[in-house]
Amino acid sequence: MAKILVTGGLGFIGSHTVIELQKAGHEAVIVDNLDNSSLDVLDGITAISAIKPSFEKLDLRLKSAVENLLQRHSDIDGIIHFAAYKAVGESVEKPLAYYENNIGSLVNLLQAAEQNQIKNFIFSSSCTVYGEAKELPISEDSPVVPAESPYGNTKQIGEEILVDTTKGGKLNAIALRYFNPIGAHESAIIGELPAGVPQNLVPYITQTAIGLRQQLSVYGDDYPTRDGTCIRDYIHVVDLAKAHVTAVERLVEQKNNQAFEVFNLGTGTGSTVLEVIKSFEKISGESLNYQIVARREGDVTAAYANTTKANNVLGWKAEKNLDEAMTDAWRWEQKIRN
Ligand code: UD1
């Protein structure tokens, strides 16, 4: 059993990871500043696992608060760091807020970890680091290209900070590059809670179907793909959560091959926007109101993961398919609106 600090542990991926940590017999300590999450999620976690994790409201931008936290929890075995801003468009409007929060918090956490000899660190990264990859599926060897947005850049800089920091021998880190996380817990007790109008496809679909949005805009049908719409690798959030447990266990049990490792987390299957809509219509029996509009700036044509390294080296594999993820996303949407 390990004791793991989960920053952003009340967020979408963080909360599902806390449950999987508890299921695997570990103790999760949550910190979250409630900026983009709610205390209700803590009750949701407790309802699902029957274990109330310890929780502290804390802003990781406050260096002294982070130092104090890790002094009090110097017995933790590892940190899974989710707490960050994640809206691409907003990052273009407020780049400094993104650098301050995503980079400042990371540095504060790593310094306090070093001071307290906490050696194991999992970092939330993104497939956005690959940009428009030349080869599909995308392997970890695919080059990291200049970021399209400050948000994407914070993921790249975060990884670079870890490359440098792990060279000193005091830290082991794994960056997990997520493809497109979707879905919700199958209990429909926790799920994604997008603030305002969703920017991501699946919450936009479910909110349209429930009547909160009038119509989904499909951004472009003139891409060079099988039906003209963009291809992504949609991965169920519970599969993603399990990968974090596997990754932190890898570090705690010192099974890592290098001080800094990177894994792609996807299903390996690419789906077009129209295929996602069809999956939704099939599992819900609803017909979705959508129209094709112009392309969205910054979208890549296709991104899906080569999962060989995650499967063979990390020892993790996504188990749920698109229909299952859409079923859970829809069940969650119906639950929170009714
Ligand atoms: C987006 C971010 C990415 C981030 C990820 C986190 C952009 C350009 N990229 O990825 O950096 O890591 O979210 O989850 O914002 N779509 C529509 N209509 C919509 C919304 C989306 O057609 O209303 C399409 C998009 O064009 C895309 C696909 O659905 O082809 C998925 O979009 P989205 O869910 O926003 O994810 P990404 O763009 O892949």
- Is 30 near ligand 1, meaning CB less than 6 Å away? no
pLDDT score of 224 = 98
**Under DSSP, is residue 271 helix (H, G, I), strand (E, B) or coil?**
strand
Q: What is the reported pTM?
A: 0.98
219 lines ligand 1 (CB under 6 A): yes
Q: Decide if 234 contacts 267 (C-beta within 8 A).
A: yes
**Residue 299 class from Cβ within 10 Å (0-12 exposed, 13-18 middle, 19+ buried)?**
middle
pLDDT score for 197:
94
Q: Rounded to whole angstroms, how far apart are CA atoms 263 and 169?
A: 21
The boundaries of every CATH 3.90.25.10 domain in the chain are 201-231+268-308+322-337
The domain at 3-182+234-266 falls in which architecture? 3-Layer(aba) Sandwich (3.40)
Nearest Cα residue to atom 20 of ligand 1: 201
Low-confidence ranges of the chain (pLDDT < 50): none
305-326 pLDDT, tens digit each = 999 999 999 999 999 999 999 9
> Known catalytic residues?
151
Q: What's the token pair of residue 159?
A: 């990884």
Q: Give the residue, by CA position, lying nearest to ligand 1 atom 25.
A: 219
pLDDT at 338: 75
According to CATH, where is 3.40.50.720 located in the chain? 3-182+234-266
**Bridge partners (DSSP) listed for residue 173:** 121, 260
Residues 253 and 298 sit within 8 Å (Cβ to Cβ): no
- Atom number, ligand 1, closest to the C-alpha of residue 299: 8
Return d(Cα 238, Cα 244) in angstroms, integer: 10
* Identity at 50, one-letter amino acid code: A
In contact, 326 and 201? CB cutoff 8 Å: no
Tokens describing residue 310: 């995650």
Ligand 1 atom closest to residue 152's alpha carbon, by position in its atom list: 11
**pLDDT number for residue 195:** 87
With a 6 Å cutoff on the Cβ, whether 88 touches ligand 1 is: yes
The domain over range 201-231+268-308+322-337 is classified in CATH as 3.20.20.70:
no
CA distances from 333 to 83, 136, 197, 290 (A): 24, 32, 14, 18
